[in-house]
Amino acid sequence: DAGVIQSPRHEVTEMGQEVTLRCKPISGHDYLFWYRQTMMRGLELLIYFNNNVPIDDSGMPEDRFSAKMPNASFSTLKIQPSEPRDSAVYFCASMGYPLDNEQFFGPGTRLTVL
Amino acid sequence: AQSVTQLGSHVSVSEGALVLLRCNYSSSVPPYLFWYVQYPNQGLQLLLKYTTGATLVKGINGFEAEFKKSETSFHLTKPSAHMSDAAEYFCAGGGNKLTFGTGTQLKVEL
């Protein structure tokens, strides 16, 4: 298996623009997580899905952020409009049947908002 | 509230020396505990995990950790550090939803 795939790996955009980050989880995994990592706040859970349904979005910072999972093999995290303070590395992770609760992380998308 | 605390944001050891990275968790954290490692510009990779059973857990790259319920600790150790161990290490705990510590940057010096 190729592991969790994220695209793009790097994104540079200007303030006010829409940004869409993409994630393909490991096949067969029914949990998907979106995290944000910054120097100031560390690793924060934004939202997670189970069987394509959002379970907990309490970490989503504000209405500018939205996440979808239209099917078991694809998820998006959208920021509209983007702001400089959104600059961070965004990670997607997936997990199978939670007997071991092990999350597998993607390589991340480094977002820079100018 | 659940919390995972890592003592020491930066740890420096000499090559060949013992590595000890400390992690304490709040008693409200379900007893699923993990150590992840992050190399520069990469995602997090699982080092080891404790779910049930033996309290001394062995992981990859010679690392191990011991779950001590009485001390609410899950410290990570490695007998002999190698230059390739230089990375950031995260302790995490929880069920479906993990709570991560703030990370410890390990530096290995010659």
Instruction: Please report, rounded to a whole number, the percentage of residues in chain B having pLDDT higher than 70.
Output: 96
A99: left (phi over 0), alpha (psi -120 to 50) or beta: alpha
pLDDT tens, B30-75? 678 999 999 988 899 999 999 888 889 999 999 999 999 889 999 9
**CB-CB neighbors (< 8 A) of B36 in chain A:** 105
Statement: residue B29 has pLDDT above 70: no
Using the CB atoms, write b or e for B67-105: b if 16+ within 10 Å: beeeebbbbbebeebeeebbbbbbbbbbebbbbbbebbe
What integer is the mean pLDDT of A31-52? Answer: 94
Interface test with B, best of A37, A39, A40, A43 (most B CBs within 10 A): A43
Instruction: Give the distance from residue B42's alpha carbon to the nearest chain A alpha carbon, in angstroms.
Output: 5
Q: Are A76 and A68 in contact (CB under 8 A)?
A: yes
Contact status of B46 with chain A (Cβ, < 8 Å): yes
Listing from the earlier edge strand, what are the strands of the sheet with B19-25? B4-7, B19-25, B73-78, B64-68, B56-58
pLDDT value of residue B1: 64
Contact status of B100 with chain A (Cβ, < 8 Å): yes
Q: Which two tokens stand for residue A75?
A: 């998820």
Statement: residue B27 has pLDDT above 80: no
CB contact under 8 A, A56 and B102: no
Statement: residue B97 has pLDDT above 90: no
Alpha helix segments (H runs only) across chain A? none
Q: What is the mean pLDDT of chain B?
A: 92
Residue in A42, A101, A107 nearest the CB of B96: A101
C-alpha Rg value of chain A to the nearest Å? 13
> Which residues make beta-bridge pairs with A112?
A12
The Cα–Cα gap between A40 and A20 comes to 23
CB contact under 8 A, A100 and B51: yes
**CB-CB neighbors (< 8 A) of A31 in chain B:** 96
Statement: residue A103 has pLDDT above 70: yes
A3-12, A39-48, B21-30: least confident range:
B21-30
- Token pair 């000499």 is found at B14
CB contact under 8 A, B97 and A106: no
pLDDT value of residue A98: 64
**CB-CB neighbors (< 8 A) of B43 in chain A:** 4, 91, 93, 105-108
What integer is the mean pLDDT of A37-53? Answer: 93
Q: Which two tokens stand for residue B30?
A: 């379900």
pLDDT tens, A72-94? 999 999 999 999 999 999 999 99
Q: Which two tokens stand for residue B53?
A: 């059973």
**CB-CB neighbors (< 8 A) of B100 in chain A:** 42-43
CB contact under 8 A, B96 and A102: no
The Cα–Cα gap between B104 and B70 comes to 23
